[in-house]
């Protein structure tokens, strides 16, 4: 008599796993768009289900609440962002090299405005303070790939002044890119990128 397969194995086939992954991606894509357009706090699970084309019960089979979905949206974003941040020239780039790099990074920001805007929104909520500081540390690790100053600043136990400067520069980078993308022809927005490049250079030269 042939051995029976465990009940779990029947439902854990590659096809079912692929279907599960596709459904979760649909949920994340729908949620990311809603979080961006109408803000995280204003978005409901019912709205996410409708946007993803799913029954409410199906949505809850994959995620217990929107906080879990948000965590996955951010988790998908971080590796992509770290790869881009790690291209910052180093360890002693010129201002012009940094300026060119910021313009390239702005193109990445343009493609990823939804998750970045969500992160910026969450900064206003103290409940996410610790989570966002850890997230920023991970992203600063990318900046530190060729630059020891950022590598040191990315550590949660870094010297307070160094840590503070690193955090401020990272936020300045994302802020200046966001404003630049709103109107690339604006002279003030162009100047923001140059000012940010100069501030990065000063930090890396210390």
The topology (CATH level 3) of 13-64 is: Arc Repressor Mutant, subunit A (1.10.10)
Contacts of 163 (CB under 8 A, 6+ apart): 153, 155, 156
- Contact status, residue 133 vs residue 156, Cβ threshold 8 Å: yes
Low-confidence ranges of the chain (pLDDT < 50): 1-9
pLDDT in tens, 66-117: 999 998 999 999 999 999 999 999 999 999 999 999 999 999 999 998 888 8
Tokens (6 digits) for 94: 């010129």
CATH number for the segment(s) 73-205: 1.10.357
Domain ranges within the chain, ordered by starting residue: 13-64, 73-205
User: What whole-number distance in Å separates Cα of residue 101 and Cα of residue 139?
Assistant: 16
């Amino acid at each position: 008599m042939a051995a029976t397969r465990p009940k779990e194995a029947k439902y854990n086939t590659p096809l079912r796993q692929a279907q599960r992954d596709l459904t979760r991606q649909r949920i994340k894509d729908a949620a990311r768009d809603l979080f961006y357009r109408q803000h995280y706090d204003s978005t409901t699970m019912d709205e996410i289900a409708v946007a993803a084309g799913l029954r409410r019960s199906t949505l809850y089979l994959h995620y217990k609440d929107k906080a879990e979905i948000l965590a996955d949206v951010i988790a998908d974003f971080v590796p992509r962002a770290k790869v881009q941040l790690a291209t910052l020239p180093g360890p002693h780039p010129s201002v012009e090299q940094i300026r060119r790099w910021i313009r390239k990074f702005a193109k990445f920001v343009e493609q990823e405005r939804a998750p970045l805007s969500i992160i910026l929104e969450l900064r206003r909520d103290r409940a996410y303070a610790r989570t966002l500081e850890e997230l920023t540390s991970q992203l600063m690790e990318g900046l530190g790939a060729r630059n020891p100053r950022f590598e040191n600043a990315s550590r949660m136990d870094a010297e307070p002044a160094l840590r503070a400067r690193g955090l401020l520069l990272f936020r300045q980078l994302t802020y200046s890119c966001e404003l630049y993308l709103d109107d690339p022809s604006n002279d003030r927005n162009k100047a923001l990128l140059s000012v940010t490049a100069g501030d990065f250079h000063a930090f890396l030269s210390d």
